[in-house]
Structure 1
Amino acid sequence: MPFADANRPAIGVSLLKAGLERAFAELEFLSQTYGRKRIDCVDNILDMRYVNTLFPKLRDSGLGVELFYEVKSNLRYEQLTTLYDGGLRGIQPGVESFSNEILRLMRKGCTGLQNIQLLRWCAELGIDAAYNILTGFPNESPSEYERMAELVPLMCHLQPPVVVSPIRLDRFSPFFTRSSEFGLTRVRPTVSYYYVYPLGRRELSRLAYYFDYDYEDGREPRSYVDNLRDEVNRKWWNVWFKQPLEARPRLDAYCDGRAVNITDTRAEAVAPSHRLEGLAAELYLRCDSAQSLSSLQREFGAVADAAEVLKALEGLIASKLMVEMDGQYLSLAVMRTRPASAQLGSDHVYANIQQAPAA
Structure 2
Amino acid sequence: ANCSAPMGEAMFRGYSEFDAVVVGPGEIAFPRLVRELQKGRQNIRIPGVYWRGTAEDTAPPDDPGVAPEPAMDDLPLPNYDDYFAHWPEGEPSLMVPFEGSRGCWWGQKHHCTFCGLNGGTIAFRTKPAARALEEVEQLHRRYGARAGQLAATDNIMPVDYPRSFVPRLAALELDTPVFYEVKANLGRRELEALCDAGIVRIQPGIESLSTPVLRLMDKGVTALQNIQLLKWARQYEVDVQWNVLYALPAERPEHYEGQVELWEKLHHLPAPLVCGPIRIDRFSPHFERPHDHGIADLRPHPSYRWLYPDLDPRALEGVAYSFVGRYRSQGHTHAYAEPLCAAVQRWKERAASTALVMLDGPGGLAIGALGPDAAPWFGRLRGDARAAYLACDRITGEAALRRALARQGGRDVSPEQLRCVVAPLLERGLMLEEDGRYLSLAIDLNASTPRGRSYVLPIEHWPHLRTLMALADDEEDVTCPLAS
Whether these two folds match at TM > 0.5 is yes
Q: Conserved in 2, the CA contact under 8 Å of 1:324 and 1:330?
A: yes
Q: CA RMSD in A?
A: 2.5
1:113 aligns with 2:218: no
1:251 aligns with 2:360: no
Provide the secondary structure at the position in 1 that maps to 2:371: coil
Provide the secondary structure at the position in 2 that maps to 1:172: coil
1:200 to partner: Cα distance? 2.9
Instruction: Please give the residue correspondences for 1:156-167 in structure 2 after superposition, counting only pairs within 5 Å.
Output: 156-167=267-278
Q: Conserved in 1, the CA contact under 8 Å of 2:237 and 2:454?
A: no
Instruction: Please give the residue correspondences for 1:236-315 in structure 2 after superposition, counting only pairs within 5 Å.
Output: 236-240=347-351, 245=352, 248-257=353-362, 259-266=364-371, 272-302=377-407, 303=409, 305-306=413-414, 307-315=416-424
In structure 1, distance between residues paired with 2:350 and 2:218? 32
28-37 vs 84-93, which moves further: 28-37
Q: Conserved in 2, the CA contact under 8 Å of 1:254 and 1:338?
A: no
Instruction: Mark the structure with the bigger radius of gyration.
Output: 2
1:208 to partner: Cα distance? 0.4
In structure 1, distance between residues paired with 2:417 and 2:371? 28
**Correspondence for 1:99:** 210
In structure 2, distance between residues paired with 1:159 and 1:299? 30
Counterpart residue identity of residue 423, structure 2: E
In structure 2, distance between residues paired with 1:27 and 1:120? 29
1:330 aligns with 2:439: yes
Q: Could you tell me the TM-score, scaled by structure 1's length?
A: 0.87
In structure 2, distance between residues paired with 1:276 and 1:217? 44
1:313 to partner: Cα distance? 0.7
Cα displacement string for residues 175-234 of structure 1 (whole angstroms, at most 9, x for unaligned residues)? 00100110011111111111111223222111101111221576241222222222222x
Cα distance 1:293–1:129, how it changes in 2: closer, same or farther (>3 A)? same
Counterpart residue identity of residue 176, structure 1: F
Instruction: Please give the residue correspondences for 1:188-207 in structure 2 after superposition, counting only pairs within 5 Å.
Output: 188-198=299-309, 199-207=311-319
Q: Conserved in 1, the CA contact under 8 Å of 2:295 and 2:327?
A: yes
1:239 to partner: Cα distance? 2.1
Counterpart residue identity of residue 155, structure 1: L
Structure 1 gap segments, 5+ residues each = 340-352
Q: Conserved in 2, the CA contact under 8 Å of 1:338 and 1:355?
A: no
**Correspondence for 1:227:** 339
Cα distance 1:217–1:59, how it changes in 2: closer, same or farther (>3 A)? closer
1:57 aligns with 2:168: yes
1:146 aligns with 2:257: yes
Cα distance 1:217–1:88, how it changes in 2: closer, same or farther (>3 A)? closer
1:130 aligns with 2:238: no
Counterpart residue identity of residue 129, structure 1: V
Select the residue among 200, 208, 215 that pairs with 1:89: 200
In structure 1, distance between residues paired with 2:443 and 2:79? 36
Q: Could you tell me the TM-score, scaled by structure 2's length?
A: 0.66
Provide the secondary structure at the position in 1 that maps to 2:271: coil
**Correspondence for 2:100:** 15
Cα distance 1:269–1:276, how it changes in 2: closer, same or farther (>3 A)? farther
Structure 2 gap segments, 5+ residues each = 1-77, 102-125, 456-484
Q: Conserved in 2, the CA contact under 8 Å of 1:153 and 1:267?
A: no
1:319 to partner: Cα distance? 1.7
Counterpart residue identity of residue 395, structure 2: A
1:101 to partner: Cα distance? 1.1
Aligned length: 339
In structure 2, distance between residues paired with 1:98 and 1:268? 25
1:270 to partner: Cα distance? 9.1
Select the residue among 276, 284, 288 that pairs with 1:173: 284
Provide the secondary structure at the position in 1 that maps to 2:406: coil
**Correspondence for 1:317:** 426
1:260 to partner: Cα distance? 1.7
**Correspondence for 1:210:** 322
**Correspondence for 2:135:** 26
1:158 to partner: Cα distance? 0.8
Counterpart residue identity of residue 11, structure 1: V
**Correspondence for 2:182:** 71
Counterpart residue identity of residue 208, structure 1: A
Cα displacement string for residues 2-50 of structure 1 (whole angstroms, at most 9, x for unaligned residues)? 7679765220111122212211111111011113362011111111211
Q: Conserved in 2, the CA contact under 8 Å of 1:270 and 1:319?
A: no
Cα distance 1:166–1:37, how it changes in 2: closer, same or farther (>3 A)? closer
Q: Conserved in 2, the CA contact under 8 Å of 1:145 and 1:225?
A: no
1:63 to partner: Cα distance? 3.0
Cα distance 1:270–1:129, how it changes in 2: closer, same or farther (>3 A)? same
Provide the secondary structure at the position in 2 that maps to 1:310: helix
Provide the secondary structure at the position in 2 that maps to 1:109: coil
Cα distance 1:92–1:139, how it changes in 2: closer, same or farther (>3 A)? same
Cα displacement string for residues 291-315 of structure 1 (whole angstroms, at most 9, x for unaligned residues)? 1223212332352522222111111
1:93 to partner: Cα distance? 0.8
Q: Conserved in 2, the CA contact under 8 Å of 1:189 and 1:204?
A: yes
Q: Conserved in 1, the CA contact under 8 Å of 2:271 and 2:348?
A: yes
**Correspondence for 1:343:** none
Q: Conserved in 2, the CA contact under 8 Å of 1:153 and 1:268?
A: no
